[in-house]
Chain A
Amino acid sequence: MTHVPLAYIARNLTARKLTTLLTAGGMALVVYVFATVLMLAAGLEETLVGTGQPDNVMVIRRGSQTEVQSGVDRPSAAIVESLPDIATGADGKKLISKEPVVLINLPKRDSGKPSNVVIRGATPAGLELRPQVKIVQGRMFQPGTSEIIAGKSIAGGFRGAALGETLRFAQRDWTVVGVFDAGRTGFNSEIWGDAEQLLQSFRRVSFSSAMFKLADPSRFDAVKAEIENDPRLQLEAKRETKFYADQSEALSKFISYLGVTISVIFSIGAIIGAMITMYASVASRTNEIGTLRALGFSRAAILVAFLGEALLLGLVGGLVGLIGAAFMQAFSISTMNFQTFAEIAFSFTLTPGIIMASLAFSLIMGFVGGFLPAARAARMKIVDALRAA
């Protein structure tokens, strides 16, 4: 079977620029929305999954889903600390960090609207357990003082949280002496201070969580069973990676469901646009189709040619939309995760999977929009088509 030359197909799109521009533009917008929303969900997942370390174990009160809801009293924390499976640090001490975690209300820097920010009582072991945390401005807080360090997203996004500024909470003024960057993790949306100081000022007697590093990561299931079966403890243990991944579940599902539903509905509009364009393209070239058929091109070749034109139209729209979406990577978004009630900042992340999905989506739009017009073109009788002029 002889194919209609590709150059013929492509040139048809340039013949009527306004029409091509408008149709591809509509598709580009749909693909842009589709890709952006998936990038948002991917960014959130990446941030929260990246927050955990695979050989760290998070211990919280049974049934509580977040650290803020949880409570681990000192006797329970001591029992956990006595487990033999905990790794030891360079100084010979066990690598376990018992941390109070609370939410405080802070005003956002640009709008002044309050949002919930996580304050974590950190310990030297806690820092060793999270090697991704790096001080980028100022210095570490001094233990035993009212000094705090702020995550990068918080320092920029909230009033009083930048280097050298002070925050007032729990009847004290806290000075921000450092800003830390933890890469693409949830810690960037936290404020850290000395654990004992925070416990005292918030009048808390129990920690929120205990986190430790496993000496032998393969022993996780045994350690988990030991903690959860201990009759003295009302605690549960999770790998840190899973703990944070669970927290992104609802929000990222919500974003991707909403986004995909919206994109599919929107694509109906773009598909109709492609259909109108392709029907017009077929109608205005009835003569040419007749000539092509007379020259010996088969019905199938005509069908493929017009489908190819529609697919090309979709591909152009898809590429333009993707390029637009790729620019979104420069932005990050900060919102409340409704599973933790705490602010979380994350950026748009373009993954190979999203690129493939977006291009496939644009091709599907082109195919669906182009199929009926292409079939009409293929069904034409040579004589009628040639007579149409």
Chain B
Amino acid sequence: MFVPFLVLKNALRHKLRTSLTVVGIIVAITAFGLLRTIVEAWYAGAEGSSSARLVTRNAISLTFALPINYAQKIRQVPGVAAVSWANWFGGVYIREGNFFPQFAIEPSFLDLYPEFVLKPEEKKAWMVDRKGAVAGRKLADQYGWKVGDQIPLRGTIFPGTWTFNLRAIYDGADAKVDETQFYFHWDYLNEAVKAKYPRRADQIGMYFIEIRDPSQAAQISQDVDATFKNSLAETLTETEKAFQLGFIAMTEAILLAVQAVSFVVIIIIMAVMANTMAMTARERYGEYATMKALGFANGFVALLIFAESIGIALVGGALGILLTFPLAAAFAGALGTLFPVFFVSQETVLMQLLAALVVGIVAACIPAWRAARVRIVDGLRATA
């Protein structure tokens, strides 16, 4: 019991300094955890996607469409269980800042996504309303929408103001499901476009394919693309996950920066902690010399410093981790639909704990080395 007691007494000698250091570590560990959560939220769309779904789009880029008759041809590819399609709408709700994804979908699209849970009666109401729309729970909450509300969207790709009746709100089957999407009938969009811009009608942005055996995804993707090789609209088919990761890769530079910055905060706190330990050890050289004179080994003196440093770091780390959860929840509330999925993962908590431990160990290195090397005579003279 002697050693832990001595370490505790030592740590509490300078209450102000120790508590300031602990506060610093709490801030750093919390910031580290939040930044990692942001990075993870970025990847959440890809994490939540199923490997049994493929996405087919125009090989040139997403801004090019595919003909509607491809649906029939894709259905004939062996291994394909179901085909649906969607168009990116890109409308503005009231003002530019209110961004959320909007898709015009063929109704069976929702069958491809069993993780979107709809009330049967609401789904039915949506199916029969040509101007009906379905919104995710998080999206509906953000703008205070209720079933039956009218939602106007100003088209940027399809000119004009489009008004939809909210008929259903879906919930995610688990926390990883994106609840910020907005869906309406592809037929409604297509008919309106046909009347105004005949050339732009019957065009599909993306085909969504459900396959029977996820292990065949690569082969089926190749088969689909081979079907349309050398046609006017060549296709690119990939798993939904690869499709999502492709989007993330485009903004990767920013993600890498956020990730790099999350480690900078750990280095900053390492410097603060190392400073604390250096000062603490410096003040106690006399005591260390006394202990050595009493027969304690060099290693024991170093151990005392390491134990104190790691102890302080872990207390700060633990409090930081506890604080991360309410902060992340507040953050998610403030950001609304910007990050569809936002929660602190187990991995993040482990990383935080590890970071606190590393800070404690690294901060103690130089002071412990110095204290272990201090000569008894010099150390005793320092007090005098």
Residues of A in contact with B (beta carbons under 8 Å apart): 16, 18-19, 22-23, 25-26, 29-30, 32-33, 40, 61-65, 68-69, 102-105, 111, 113-116, 169-171, 202-203, 205, 234, 255, 258, 262, 265-266, 268-270, 272-273, 275-277, 279-280, 333-336, 338, 341, 343
Evaluate whether A22 and B159 lie within 8 angstroms (CB atoms) in the complex, with A262-B31, A275-B20, A335-B251 already known.
no
Q: Which 4 A-B pairs rank lowest in CB-CB distance, beginning with the nearest?
A: A336-B250, A273-B272, A335-B253, A272-B24
In the bound complex, residues from chain B placing their C-beta under 8 Å from that of A61 are: 159
Evaluate whether A266 and B264 lie within 8 angstroms (CB atoms) in the complex, with A63-B159, A276-B275, A335-B253 already known.
yes
Evaluate whether A269 and B28 lie within 8 angstroms (CB atoms) in the complex, with A276-B276, A335-B251 already known.
yes
- Asked whether B24 lies within 8 Å of A255 as measured between CB atoms, the reply is no
- Asked whether B24 lies within 8 Å of A268 as measured between CB atoms, the reply is yes
Binds A, one of B60-68, B79-87, B102-110: B60-68
- CA A1 to CA B159, docked complex, whole Å: 73
Identify 13 residue pairs between A and B in the complex whose beta-carbon atoms are under 8 Å apart, listed by A's number. Answer: A18-B366, A23-B275, A26-B275, A29-B267, A29-B271, A62-B159, A63-B155, A64-B156, A105-B60, A171-B234, A273-B275, A277-B279, A279-B20
A367 to chain B, nearest CB (A): 17
Q: Is B294 an interface residue (CB 8 A)?
A: no
- Asked whether A343 lies within 8 Å of B250 as measured between CB atoms, the reply is yes
- Asked whether A102 lies within 8 Å of B61 as measured between CB atoms, the reply is yes
In the bound complex, residues from chain A placing their C-beta under 8 Å from that of B264 are: 29, 32-33, 266
- Asked whether B156 lies within 8 Å of A65 as measured between CB atoms, the reply is yes
In the bound complex, residues from chain B placing their C-beta under 8 Å from that of A333 are: 253, 257
Evaluate whether A18 and B61 lie within 8 angstroms (CB atoms) in the complex, with A268-B24, A272-B23, A336-B251 already known.
no
Q: Is B357 an interface residue (CB 8 A)?
A: no
Q: Is B380 an interface residue (CB 8 A)?
A: no
Name the residue among A25, A32, A105, A116 with the largest chain B CB count within 10 angstroms. Answer: A105
B358 to chain A, nearest CB (A): 15
- Asked whether B21 lies within 8 Å of A272 as measured between CB atoms, the reply is yes
Closest B residue to A206 by CB, please name it: B199
A112 to chain B, nearest CB (A): 10
- CA A203 to CA B64, docked complex, whole Å: 10
Q: Is B252 an interface residue (CB 8 A)?
A: yes
- Asked whether A103 lies within 8 Å of B254 as measured between CB atoms, the reply is no
A63 to chain B, nearest CB (A): 5
- Asked whether A269 lies within 8 Å of B63 as measured between CB atoms, the reply is no
- Asked whether B62 lies within 8 Å of A103 as measured between CB atoms, the reply is yes
Contacting residue for A102 out of B63, B232, B253, CB 8 A: B63
A12 to chain B, nearest CB (A): 14
In the bound complex, residues from chain A placing their C-beta under 8 Å from that of B274 are: 22
- Asked whether A277 lies within 8 Å of B159 as measured between CB atoms, the reply is no
Closest A residue to B249 by CB, please name it: A113
In the bound complex, residues from chain A placing their C-beta under 8 Å from that of B63 are: 68, 102-103, 341
- Asked whether A270 lies within 8 Å of B258 as measured between CB atoms, the reply is no
In the bound complex, residues from chain B placing their C-beta under 8 Å from that of A277 are: 275, 279
Q: Is B268 an interface residue (CB 8 A)?
A: yes
- CA A382 to CA B249, docked complex, whole Å: 64
A331 to chain B, nearest CB (A): 11
In the bound complex, residues from chain B placing their C-beta under 8 Å from that of A104 are: 60-61
- CA A346 to CA B203, docked complex, whole Å: 35
In the bound complex, residues from chain B placing their C-beta under 8 Å from that of A336 are: 250-251
In the bound complex, residues from chain B placing their C-beta under 8 Å from that of A202 are: 60, 64
Q: Is B90 an interface residue (CB 8 A)?
A: yes
In the bound complex, residues from chain A placing their C-beta under 8 Å from that of B31 are: 262, 265-266
In the bound complex, residues from chain B placing their C-beta under 8 Å from that of A30 are: 268
In the bound complex, residues from chain A placing their C-beta under 8 Å from that of B159 are: 61-64, 234
B228 to chain A, nearest CB (A): 12
In the bound complex, residues from chain B placing their C-beta under 8 Å from that of A275 are: 20
In the bound complex, residues from chain A placing their C-beta under 8 Å from that of B41 are: none
- Asked whether B272 lies within 8 Å of A266 as measured between CB atoms, the reply is no
- Asked whether B250 lies within 8 Å of A102 as measured between CB atoms, the reply is no
- Asked whether B246 lies within 8 Å of A171 as measured between CB atoms, the reply is no
Contacting residue for B269 out of A115, A258, A269, CB 8 A: A269
In the bound complex, residues from chain A placing their C-beta under 8 Å from that of B254 are: 255, 335
- CA A69 to CA B253, docked complex, whole Å: 25
Evaluate whether A169 and B35 lie within 8 angstroms (CB atoms) in the complex, with A272-B21, A334-B253 already known.
no
In the bound complex, residues from chain B placing their C-beta under 8 Å from that of A262 are: 31, 35, 261
- CA A143 to CA B276, docked complex, whole Å: 70
Evaluate whether A269 and B268 lie within 8 angstroms (CB atoms) in the complex, with A113-B252, A114-B249 already known.
yes
Q: Is B321 an interface residue (CB 8 A)?
A: no
